[in-house]
Amino acid sequence: MKTIATPLRLAVLALPFAAGLALPSAAWAQPKQGGTVVYANLSGPGTLDPHVAASLVELEVIHHIFETLVAIDADYNTKPSLADTVSTSPDAKMFTFTLRKGVKFQNGKEMTSADVLASFERYKRVSPNASVLADVERFEAPDPYTFVVRLTKPNAVFVDILKSPVYPFAIVPAEQRDKAARELDIVGTGPFTLGEWVKDSHLVLKRFDGYVADTRSPGPDGLAGRRTAYLDSVRYNFVPEANTRVAAMQSGGADVMADVPPDLVKRLEGRPELQVLKIFPFCMQVFVVNTQQGATKNPLVRQAISAALNATDVIDATGVLAQTSHSLVYPSSPYYQGDAMKPYYDQNNPAKAKELLKKAGYNGEKITLQTNSNYNYMRSAILVLAEQLKAAGMNAAVDVVDWTTNASNMQRGTGTWNVSTTGFCSNPLLGPQQWKVMFYTFPQVKGDDVLDGAYDRFYTSLDPKLRIAAWADIEKRVLDQAYMIKVGDIGAIRAVNTKRIDGFTPYYLPRFWNVSVK
């Protein structure tokens, strides 16, 4: 056995926000304990069950309450969290996790391997991401501080899979093993506990005074490292209207603001105490095409939608910090394929779309484009796409619902929709293993032997070059079949009152550990 390292480590991102991810320890010197920070966000979570959560508004709360065996560090690489050490067998079929001792759940109970085993068993039963555990032969807990995973075949990136902040492999008390999806008691090992939660209004996190920090690091590191809760509480206010969020920052009614539209930045920049944080790249926006619904069951219709898309016009209409980009990973990734995927991007070819529709036998069937009332950029993207599809001869109709319904429909395949849009944030940063569940779940892909075979090669190849080649086949298949259609890379703009609070640093998820009130 040997200690496993991340098979393919992402290079440190040379981005405007990268320098803020690993600040010197002086940045947290002698912080004041106590106080409340108010965070103005667009929307509230639909669920806080980590095993079924994929939406950003859910995850940014969940990662304050729950923890995982391994997590992403500041550079999105794999770092032990609840695990003390991780080792892998030479054939990449057995993984052994020794646990940190003395870690407490928020109900006062010490975490042991029994809790880890129960958490993984529940995850395998309820999570939309459960397919990543399909090759598990068995879980073992040979002693209170050792957890073992045995696989039926090699998986060279298994530990990297477990770092995912989306559908996180959160450890919950063993008594929660049989809880149904979305019915979990909200009890984790993280630095904050759930306080009051009023749907469509606000949510409060409270400091967990029994939290056992990971002392191996001098300070926080991404979602890992030494995390300290200085604040008494964090109040998440759900404020869909951007102007209202800006007004709250200006009046002192909010200390941190999510999703500042570029056209409203000037209202904040004139105030020296209000710092604007630009995080780029942040997410990738795609159109998701439902392969199991009506006209878009036909791959030719899906390809026609891709052919009709003018991505530049869509980006211009969204009004967000964004740029055109053809790949499903960033150029910093070892999986980046250069210009290979350009033929599938920003085609802006209505004539090609019409020819594909003719081959498909399309006869004016309604194509429903579903979006939501919470995220303006998503709604604008869908409205522009609808006009582009109409120009190519498609009967496009727009359906507007709330974000919780929109996200749930994409994740579960529920509702009546053919195309929707969303942003994926961690997936392009973390690589192919993080994309898999999204490629299958959101477009409802079933029975694609080509995609299945490419992913099988990716997971079982111990040679990194073979994994890169497998990813090239995966990316090509997803784009060629128009399961997802790339729109562009989008950034995030947040605002923070630096006169009021200290220690809030840019990252793809807002983090309130190691934040203090001045």
pLDDT tens digits, one per residue of 234-261 = 999 999 999 999 999 999 999 999 999 9
Task: Report which secondary-structure segment, H or E, holds 279.
Answer: strand 274-289
Q: What is the pLDDT of residues 41-56, one digit of tens each?
A: 999 999 999 999 999 9
Give buried/exposed letters for 362-400 (b at 16+ CB in 10 A, else e): beeeebbbbbbebbbbbbbbbbbbbebbeebbbebeebe
| pLDDT value of position 28 | 43
Q: Give the chain's end-to-end CA distance (angstroms, integer).
A: 48
Phi/psi region, residue 290 (left: phi>0; alpha: psi -120 to 50; beta: rest), is: beta
Q: How confident is the model at residue 326 (pLDDT cuts 50, 70, 90)?
A: very high
Cα(276)–Cα(270) distance, rounded to whole angstroms? 11
| pLDDT band for position 29 (cuts 50, 70, 90) | low
Non-local (6+) Cβ contacts of 203 within 8 A are: 44, 45, 61, 194, 195, 196, 197, 235, 236, 238
CB–CB of 29/218 below 8 Å?
no
Encode pLDDT of 200-243 as tens digits.
999 999 999 999 999 999 999 999 999 999 999 999 999 999 99
pLDDT tens track for 382-432: 999 999 999 999 999 999 999 999 999 999 999 999 999 999 988 898 889
Instruction: Read off the pTM.
Output: 0.77
Peptide bond into 144 cis (omega under 30): no
- Residue whose token pair is 């997971």: 459
Cα–Cα distance for residue pair 467/437, rounded to 1 Å: 17
Q: Average per-residue pLDDT in the chain?
A: 92
How many CA atoms are closer than 13 Å to the CA of 23, on its beta-carbon side? 16
How sure is the predictor about 24, in pLDDT bands with cuts at 50, 70 and 90? Answer: very low
* Residue 193 confidence class, pLDDT cut points 50, 70, 90: very high
Q: Sorting pLDDT into bands at 50, 70 and 90, what band is 5?
A: very low
- List the beta strands (DSSP E) in 382-472: 395-401, 419-424
Query: Residue 25 above 90 pLDDT?
Result: no
| pLDDT for 195 | 98
| 460-485 pLDDT, tens digit each | 998 999 999 999 999 999 999 999 99
**Mean pLDDT of the region 131-153:** 97
pLDDT at residue 4 is higher than 60 = no
* Pairwise CA distance, residues 62 & 493, whole Å: 21
Let me know: does 406 contact 420? Beta carbons within 8 Å. Answer: yes
CATH 3.10.105.10 domain position(s) in the chain = 281-491
**Which residue is it, tokens 């759940």?**
105
Retrieve residue 279's tokens: 């995080």
CATH number, domain 36-237+498-517, options 3.50.50.60, 3.30.110.60, 3.40.190.10, 3.40.50.720: 3.40.190.10
Mean pLDDT of 80-93: 96
Residues of the chain with CATH 3.40.190.10: 36-237+498-517
Strand 192-198 vs strand 83-88: parallel, antiparallel, or unpaired?
unpaired
* Adjacent-strand bridge partners of 150: 94, 138
| 281-491 fold | Dipeptide-binding Protein; domain 3 (3.10.105)
pLDDT of residue 50: 98
Q: How crowded is residue 133: how many other Cβ atoms within 10 Å of its Cβ?
A: 20
DSSP secondary structure letter of residue 68: B
**Is residue 27 scored above 80 in pLDDT?**
no
Which carries the bigger pLDDT value, residue 10 or residue 429? 429
